[in-house]
Structures are given as structure tokens and as C-alpha cells.
Structure 1
């Protein structure tokens, strides 16, 4: 079972990816998150810190924590091309997001490296953005 702070981070990440917390939205306070997830305030703050490191959250000038776009980050292979390139199927939709803890482990991703999500009528595929390229045909 993941640490409690990771569960807080995963829940917030899911809300961000689903659009429940859109870009610019204020994240609930640590006290509110602690109550919602039945954890201590410090644990909630640690979950927020995970998403700040990933670039999903930022500290706004008014000192609130807000949802923001992921910042551009260096890739694992900055001077080389992708390991694999695939064609996006007709009607496919591609998006990028920060990986979940499990995806980071599965793909052995460095902190801050996003994943590419390809959605088609058959479902979705998740690929590491530092090793995978997509081509529109």
C-alpha cells in the first residue's frame, strides 16, 4: 500500500487529470485535504509537495496553491531521438500528463518526466514521453 501522502497526491492528480481541478483552480487547503483523506496536516502538505515537484501545482502570488500546466523539463535522453515512434491512429487523441507513482515505477521514469496518453475507440495507451514519439498521418 502506498504511503498516505502518495494517496493524497494520487487523489489530487486524478482530479487535475479529470478536469475537476482545472488550470488556475485553487487547491483545497491542507486542513481540508487532511480532513477529506483522514490524514494529518503534514501528510496533506507532503502530498501537495509531490505535485508541486511534478509541476502540476504552483504557489500563486497570493500564496494559494493553484493548478498549473506542467513546466517543460529535461528529458532522460536530451540529445537523442525517441526510442520508438508510432503513428497516431485516425481519430486518436493524444495528451500529456505527469505519471502516477505506479507508472513512474513501471517505466522507470525520472522525477518530472511526463507520459503521453493515446486514446482511441479501443481504449488508451500510456507511453514514457522521454523515449516515445508519435507521428500524425
Structure 2
């Protein structure tokens, strides 16, 4: 399910599928669910799902076989990349949260604030 976090849905789906691949839930050689199934799972449009899968293709995590589907590459193994993907996801969340907090603080500041004179 795509969350209203400010992060585009296709990136959320790509992050989730990437974590499943690196975490072993989607093993090397395993077929990804069909585009229609992923769209239903994530409550997203087909085009959003296709963009997410395209990202994974560009990263070399999955390969498409005409008429057969999209499969996790055989040479993808769980490992440090899983930690890195998780850290990137956590960092995105932290930056997003900080942006929201900063916007709140800025909204409380008066329009024109005078800066104190710097000591000479």
C-alpha cells in the first residue's frame, strides 16, 4: 500500500520490492508478481508499478523475459546491500520528517525577524 509520505509511489514500491529481494523474500530466479497483481497489492496504477519495476531493472536487480515475466536476477544475493537499502529508506524518512518540522518552525517565525548584531 502506498503511503502519503511525500515520496512518489513508484519509489515506495521500488524500495519495498528491493527490500524483499535483498531480504530473501524474493529469491534469486523468483518471478515477481504480475504488474496487475502488484498494482492490486500496492493499490497503485499499472504505470506506477511499471515505473517501479523499471527502476529495479536499471539497478540490475531484475530481468524481464518476453512473454514470461520479470524475474529476480540469479546473481543477486542478500547482503550488505539490504542494509544499505534500509539505511537509504530510513534517511529519506528522516529528511522528510525534518523538512516538515522545519516548515512548522518557519511558519511560527514572524515575517521580518531582525538578526542580533554580531559582536565586534
TM-score range, shorter chain: 0.5 to 0.7
How big is the alpha-carbon RMSD for the aligned residues of Structure 1 and Structure 2? 2.5
Q: What secondary structure sits across from 1:13 in the alignment?
A: helix
**Normalized against structure 1, the TM-score is what?**
0.52
Post-superposition offset of 1:59? 1.3
Which of 1 and 2 has higher RCO (CA within 8 Å, sep 6+)?
2
Gaps in structure 1 of 5+ consecutive residues = 71-93, 107-137
Whole-Å separation in 2 of the counterparts to 1:95 and 1:15: 12
Which structure has the greater CA radius of gyration?
2
Separation in structure 1 between the aligned mates of residue 86 and residue 24 of structure 2, nearest angstrom = 19
Q: Hey, which bits of structure 1, 4+ residues long, moved more than 6 A?
A: none
Q: TM-score, normalised by structure 2?
A: 0.58
What is aligned with 1:64?
Answer: 69
Match for 2:16 among 11, 17, 20? 11
The unaligned stretches of length 5 or more in structure 2 are 1-5, 92-120
1 or 2, which has the higher helix percentage? 2
